[in-house]
Amino acid sequence: MFTVYHFSSKCIPGLYNMSKRQLLLLSSSKVHGHGFLEYAENDICDLLSEHNVTSVLFVPYALRNHDKYLKKVQQPFKKWGFQVDGIHSENPLEAVGKAQAIFIGGGNTFRLLKTLYDLNLVKAIRKRVLEDGIPYIGASAGTNVATVSINTTNDMPIVYPPSFEALNLVPFNINPHYQDPDLTSTHKGETREERILEYLEEKESYPVLGLREGCTLHVKNNTAILKGIRSARLFSKEQKPREFDVGSDLSFLLKDQY
């Protein structure tokens, strides 16, 4: 029997207005023409340096081989002057409790969220980010779990988490790796846009920000700015999808009433 968790903003009045969020939510860690995390190097370094971070806690649970994943992440951070420690190398709750910053990488979102629940890390991470104000960096699956729920992930449900509700660091959903329809393709399957619109048909649904490869959303307290090298597409219930260029202010997405 599974426990059902409810962490939506509707259940926690004023949560977002009182938060101390410092988030970088990346569509992906790998972008064509760039090295691993390279396109977001300046944004990552600025965020960590601004908060005097010297060591980052990496959460590799979206992939099976944690040690291999850790070594891959350590390479660019070491070049930038930051130490990276794996949460799997020590007591996870204690590691979160003393972390200066948290980075959750990509992989399978269902595997990631299930592990966070299994290790009782969902509330612990949320507390450190929203109450203590430590920087949070997410890429792909790590961005998915930063939102209200993982309902708009692109991944296959290879495992079953006790709930689709996630860290709830922002009161909307994200679709990383968003792809526009290929008008020259003969493929007749559903497009990414059609799948997102199907999600929005549900009564309990939230706006979905489609982050194309190379997109980064920078959330600082109650402001949200689109950064990176690509535009983003926003889907909202009973509204036409809207395009937002790099530099756009998306702070309206952080308001509960929206």
Around Cβ 164, how many Cβ atoms within 10 Å?
Answer: 17
Question: pLDDT at position 184, please?
Answer: 75
pTM for this structure?
A: 0.91
Q: Which of 16-20, 61-65, 124-128, 147-151 has the lowest mean pLDDT?
A: 16-20
Are 256 and 171 in contact by the 8 Å Cβ rule? The answer is yes
- What separation in angstroms does the CA of 178 have from each of 28, 94, 153, 196, 231? 10, 35, 10, 10, 10
Are 169 and 126 in contact by the 8 Å Cβ rule? The answer is yes
**151-207 confidence digits (pLDDT tens):** 999 999 999 999 999 999 999 999 999 998 777 777 767 899 999 999 999 999 999
Question: pLDDT at position 14, please?
Answer: 43
**203-227 confidence digits (pLDDT tens):** 999 999 999 999 999 999 999 999 9
pLDDT above 90 (res 119): yes
Question: pLDDT at position 196, please?
Answer: 97
Give the active site residue among 19, 28, 29, 140.
Answer: 140
Give the active site residue among 9, 27, 29, 155.
Answer: 155
Task: Identify the residue with better confidence: 257 or 174.
Answer: 174
- CA dihedral sign of residues 237, 243, 246, 252: negative
pLDDT above 60 (res 18): no
Give the active site residue among 19, 27, 177, 218.
Answer: 177
Rounded percentage of the chain residues whose pLDDT exceeds 70: 90
Question: pLDDT at position 17, please?
Answer: 41
User: Active site includes 182?
Assistant: no
Question: pLDDT at position 48, please?
Answer: 98
Please state, rounded to an integer, the average pLDDT across all residues of the chain.
91
Task: Read off the pLDDT band of 19 (50, 70, 90).
Answer: low
**56-95 confidence digits (pLDDT tens):** 999 999 999 999 999 999 999 999 999 999 999 999 999 9
Under 8 Å CB-to-CB from 182, ≥6 apart: which residues?
none
Question: pLDDT at position 5, please?
Answer: 43
* Mean pLDDT confidence for 10-26: 66
Please name the fold of domain 11-254: Rossmann fold (3.40.50)
User: Active site includes 6?
Assistant: no
Task: Read off the pLDDT band of 16 (50, 70, 90).
Answer: very low
**4-15 confidence digits (pLDDT tens):** 444 444 444 344
* Mean pLDDT confidence for 18-35: 89
Question: pLDDT at position 190, please?
Answer: 83
Domain locations in the chain as residue ranges: 11-254
d(CA 235, CA 220) in angstroms, rounded, equals 22
Give Cα 153 distance to the centre of its chain. Answer: 10
User: Active site includes 177?
Assistant: yes
